[in-house]
Amino acid sequence: MFDWQFFALLMSNGVLIGLMYALIALGFVLVYKATDAINFAQGEFVMIAGFVVVAFLFTYKTSLWIAVAVGLLAMIAFGFGLERAVLRKLIGRPIIAVVMATIGLAAILRGVGPLTWGADTKNLALPISDEPIILGPLFIPPIQILGAAVSLAFLGIFGWFFLKSRKGIAMRAVADNQQVAMAMGINVERYFALAWAMTGIVSALGGVIWGSLLGVDVHLSLVGFKVFPVVILGGLDSIPGAIVGGLIVGIVENVAAGYIDPYVGGGTKDFAPYVLMIAALMVRPYGIFGKRIIERV
């Protein structure tokens, strides 16, 4: 007998978690879209943002709004600085150089976070209730609804930014062809920096939401591992792709965990999205919405 109630619960949970994945994936997509750089440190960005917010909340006893604002500003500055200090120097180098630089950056951030703010898990409490909302068969924690809402709002804002605003169009031009963009009078380096700063904004929000869901410690960076299945499924350079990929990954991992975990003793959540991703890489490596330019060998 198929248990519809259980299935609906898994689905609703998957959709909400999926939208929260989409928020983090958005950070990855923004950078890739504009600069062709791959950020293997996306999860660590989220972690460090969480640490900054928590530090202001507890160490300096500021209100939540100020802490979040400081987190946003810090991550924007971090994005600008990173582009200036590291990534600008790697322009034109083979792709493995950028991949390795972000892997190195990830290691630094994983060290700096616990070294500065301590290794214990910190509780980032948002002023919303912990009581799950009960809708018929569904139990929905309010934090997930908030996360999904923030996620959708920012996906909408950035979607509008790229389609309609002057800066967004310039950024698409830079992504499409750097030389032509330069010839048209676009300051390419400034838009690279802007892309990293935008990733900083998204990561700061991700840090607040995921931090309040999971607690802030070094393990928060593991959320970054979910970014790759999401962006590969959706398409590396597509904002709608981040949403769709996030939803697919969220639903698949929850449903797979719900039905397979009892037989294998856990861990399906981390495993299933990657199996799906391998299948996607074989069949459609540019993803559902991605540009079809992939170098064939």
Partner 1 sequence: MALYPLPIARWAVAAVVVVFFVVLPLVLHEYYLSIINLVSIAVIGALGLNILVGYTGQISVGHGAFMSVGAYTAANLAVRMGAPWPVNLLAGGLMAALIGAIVGIPSLRIKGLYLAIATLAGQLIIEWTINHVTFISGGVQASIEVPRPEVFGLRVASQRQMYFFLLVFVVLAVVGTMNLVRSRIGRAFVAIRDQDIAAEIIGINIFRYKLLAFAISSFYAGVTGVLYTYYLGVANYEQFQINVSIDYLAMIIIGGLGSVLGSIFGAAFVTLLPILIRWTMEAFGGYLFSDAAILNIIPNMRLILFGALIILFLIVEPEGLNRLWRNVRSYFRVWPFAY
The residues binding partner 1 (CB under 8 A) are 38, 40, 86, 89-90, 93-97, 99-101, 103-112, 114-115, 118-119, 225, 228, 232, 236, 264-265, 267, 270-271, 274-275, 277-278, 281-282, 285, 294-297
Minimum CB separation of residue 19 from partner 1 in Å reads 22
Q: Which of residues 8 and 281 has its CB atom nearest to partner 1 in the complex?
A: 281
Cβ atoms of residues 70 and 53 within 8 Å: yes
CB nearer to partner 1: pick between 73 and 90 = 90
- Determine the residue type at 89: K
Among residues 27 and 168, whose Cβ is nearest to partner 1? 27
Least distance in angstroms from the C-beta of 203 to partner 1? 17
Do 254 and 10 form a contact (C-beta atoms < 8 A)?
A: yes
Q: Smallest distance from the beta carbon of 238 to partner 1, in angstroms? A: 15
- Give the amino acid at 57: L
Which contacts of 79-83 are long-range, i.e. CB under 8 A and separated by 24 or more positions?
Answer: 79/193, 79/196, 79/197, 79/198, 79/199, 79/200, 80/193, 80/196, 80/197, 80/200, 82/196, 83/192, 83/193, 83/195, 83/196
**Closest separation between CB of residue 17 and partner 1, Å?**
18
CB of 172 or CB of 284, closer to partner 1: 284
| Minimum CB distance to partner 1 smaller for 12 or for 178 | 178
Q: Which is nearer to partner 1, 131 or 295 (CB)?
A: 295
The length of the chain in residues reads 297
Provide the minimum distance between the beta carbon of 225 and partner 1 in the complex, in angstroms, as a whole number: 7
Q: How far is the CB of 148 from partner 1 (least distance, A)?
A: 26
